[in-house]
Amino acid sequence: EAGVTQSPTHLIKTRGQQATLRCSPISGHTSVYWYQQALGLGLQFLLWYDEGEERNRGNFPPRFSGRQFPNYSSELNVNALELEDSALYLCASSLGSFGHEQYFGPGTRLTVT
Amino acid sequence: QQQVKQSPQSLIVQKGGISIINCAYENTAFDYFPWYQQFPGKGPALLIAIRPDVSEKKEGRFTISFNKSAKQFSLHIMDSQPGDSATYFCAASKSTSGTYKYIFGTGTRLKVLA
């Protein structure tokens, strides 16, 4: 069974630009979560999507946004990039909304110069 | 109240030794406590998880001990191997509240010496 996949693996952008990161969940999983892992820090919750709806968001500015498509894949958009947005962005998926384990993808390394 | 405090930040253990990583939480509504293992350049992988209705869960060389009254839980890695060298994250969540999300600890970098 294929795991969570993310693309691209690496992304280099300039300050002020926009970045789009993509995630495909495990087949059958309907919930997708996005986390930011800055260098040397833990994982910070960004967004949670379930059945196409945004269910919860972490303490991040509105320039972090996303969506979930009918096939449950998801996209994270970061507008007006700042240097401190440089991080590993991880996507996870779970079978449903409540009480289900989250399985992570390999991440997208975003570098803002 | 949403924090999960993890210690130590780094740990060096001899091969065959026991690695112990501790986490403490504040929110008594948390009811699911997973541990993740992350190798460099990879996403975190679910290792083992526990719910507060049990005090201990064992899977192979990995054991979670849970102390509900102290609001603490720990990961024990028995017979630690060089291949266990990775960063370990604890997490906590409220699985039934409708705001289902993980709160992660800051991670412990484990190095097992051969």
Percent of chain B surpassing pLDDT 90? 77
**A16/B4 Cα distance (integer angstroms):** 33
B51, closest residue in chain A (CA to CA)? A99
Which residues on B lie below 8 Å from A92 (Cβ)? 43
Nearest to A99 among B6, B41, B95 (CB): B95
Residue A39 has pLDDT above 90, yes or no: no
CA angle B40, B42, B47 (to 5 degrees): 100
Rounded CA-CA distance A68/A28 in Å is: 14
Closest residue on chain B to A9 (Cα): B41
Q: Which of A9-23, A72-86, B84-98 has the lowest mean pLDDT?
A: B84-98
Give residue B31's pLDDT.
Answer: 87
With an 8 Å Cβ cutoff, are A43 and B102 in contact? yes
- Range from A29-43, A91-105, B65-79 carrying the lowest mean pLDDT: A91-105
pLDDT of B33 strictly over 90: yes
In B, minimum Cα distance to A56 occurs at: B99
Distance from the B4 Cα atom to the nearest Cα atom in chain A, whole angstroms: 11
Q: pLDDT digits over A77-109, tens only?
A: 999 999 999 999 999 999 876 657 889 999 999
Q: What's the pLDDT at B52?
A: 87
For residue B85, the 8-state DSSP code is -
DSSP state at residue A63: T
How far out from the chain centre does Cα B7 lie?
Answer: 10
